Amino acid sequence: MNPISFKSSARPSLVLAGSLLLTASSQAVLVIAGVTDGDLSGGNPKSIILQAQAPIVDLSLWGVGSANNGGGSNGQEFTFPAGSASAGDVIVVAGNLESFNFFANNFVQNFALFLDVAASINGDDAIELFNNGSVFDVYGDIDVLGDGESWDYTDGFATRTGIGVGAFDQANYSSNVGAFDTLSEAQHVAIFEAAGFTVVPEPGSTALLMIGLAGLLRRRR
């Protein structure tokens, strides 16, 4: 899967750097690639999107947490199960069942999808990525309510544009508040498709014909 980028013809484009792969001096292994706070019912899809920048032997050493409403860190709220990842792999943590179903029903599963309330976020909540119990990467300021801040992503999303990890630096991200505002589910899906997610294909005309014939045969019995 390509590096995450979000594009919309109706709004300013947010494009992730073409390559975040490791350099000799880089310590980036897994990074926060994006966060979303949708505008469907309940603010869905709410998600934390991560991307492996190098092979990961044991994902169980990694986890995420959200710092809600500027109240400081809540620590590591979700730990990934044992498993591995290859460079370029994308991991999505959906914040509730509606958000999980948005990804599960609309996109081909060429990414790892998890469900956990750690990603039940609003666009003014900061995100922490943990490695072996320590903070590894941060989006936003955990001690500040994000409303009106440069990193605010309410009804929108943010994507990584730089390679720096650790303490939050807005220069490493592009934040777009309101990018999903008033959009339909199909329009939400289109933005994720532009980001590199593969949409579940519609049934072809031949398949639809076969479905119609099957229904006709059942009625004649």
Cβ contact 73:67 at 8 Å: yes
Q: Tens digit of pLDDT per residue, the chain (221 long)?
A: 444 544 333 332 223 333 333 332 345 799 999 999 999 999 999 999 999 999 999 999 999 999 999 999 999 999 999 999 999 999 999 999 999 999 999 999 899 999 999 999 999 999 999 999 999 999 999 999 999 999 999 999 999 998 888 899 999 999 999 999 999 999 999 999 988 899 998 765 455 555 555 555 555 55
> What residue spans define the domains of the chain?
30-220
What pLDDT is stored for residue 53 in this prediction? 92
Counts for the chain of helices (H) and strands (E), in that order: 3, 10
Which residue, among 45, 54, 71, has the nearest Cα to 131 in the 3D structure?
54
pLDDT at 16: 35
CATH topology of domain 30-220: Immunoglobulin-like (2.60.40)
Residue 208's pLDDT is: 54
* Rounded distance between C-alpha atoms, residue 110 and residue 100, angstroms: 14
Instruction: Identify the residue whose tokens are 């609309």.
Output: 106
pLDDT of residue 201: 87
Distances (CA, A) of 12 to 32, 56, 93, 178, 189: 21, 34, 25, 11, 17
* Beta sheet of 126-131, edge-to-edge order: 78-79, 62-67, 126-131, 134-139
